[in-house]
Amino acid sequence: MIASEWCKSLGLIGMALALAPMASAAEPARHPAPNQEHIDRAVAFATCKAERAAFRTLAYELRDVASSREPSAGWQPVAREAGEYGMALGNIAGVLAEMQLTEPVLIFGHPTRRLILSRSSVVATFDDPAIGADLAKSMGIEPETRQDGPAGMRIVESTPEAEGDGIEVKALITSRIDADHGPSAVAGCLYYTQ
């Protein structure tokens, strides 16, 4: 069940990446760069070092970023290919926003300038799809055996819900994404209740 939810989320992230290639370095930023507190918080979410309740709060707070066209807490709507911000991301269920960084941060030992927030995960994107195998190895995840197969995943923590009868799960995830602007790798943390 968790793997199928992650595959759905990953597919949605792939669509968002395909619809929203990274802005070129020559393009001026439309929104102010996130501050260090926002970056540190996003890195903690992407590396499974945040609590699931904190992730749920963030996802709830940012659910309207795409429709409002306003950045929040360092996250912003994903740019459409024409460079405009709008409903392109809001029309893809599950993907909420992105964080573009002026300087790269290390996620699992690899530099990235882009993080994607969905309703169930925060993942870093890497331009080199070959990084995926290295990420899987360093994260203790079995590498994908075929390109169209499910993403690699390793459960980090699972605990009973404080209220309810579900199980709250945090899992490290990694996969290759084939987007219109070329293949890339993603890695991050899935926050899920089963």
Task: List the chain pLDDT tens, one digit each, 194 residues.
Answer: 555 555 555 554 554 444 444 443 334 445 678 999 999 999 999 999 999 889 988 888 887 776 677 888 889 877 654 444 333 333 334 778 889 999 999 999 999 999 999 888 999 999 888 888 888 888 888 755 545 444 678 888 888 887 777 888 898 888 877 766 677 888 999 998 87
Planar angle of CA 89, 170, 164, nearest 5 degrees: 95
Three-state DSSP at 62 gives: coil
pTM of the full predicted structure?
A: 0.75
Closest listed residue to residue 130, CA positions, set 65, 70, 182: 182
Distances (CA, A) of 162 to 155, 157, 165, 190: 19, 14, 8, 19
Q: Which residues contact 167 (CB under 8 A, 6 or more apart)?
A: 158, 159, 160, 161, 193, 194
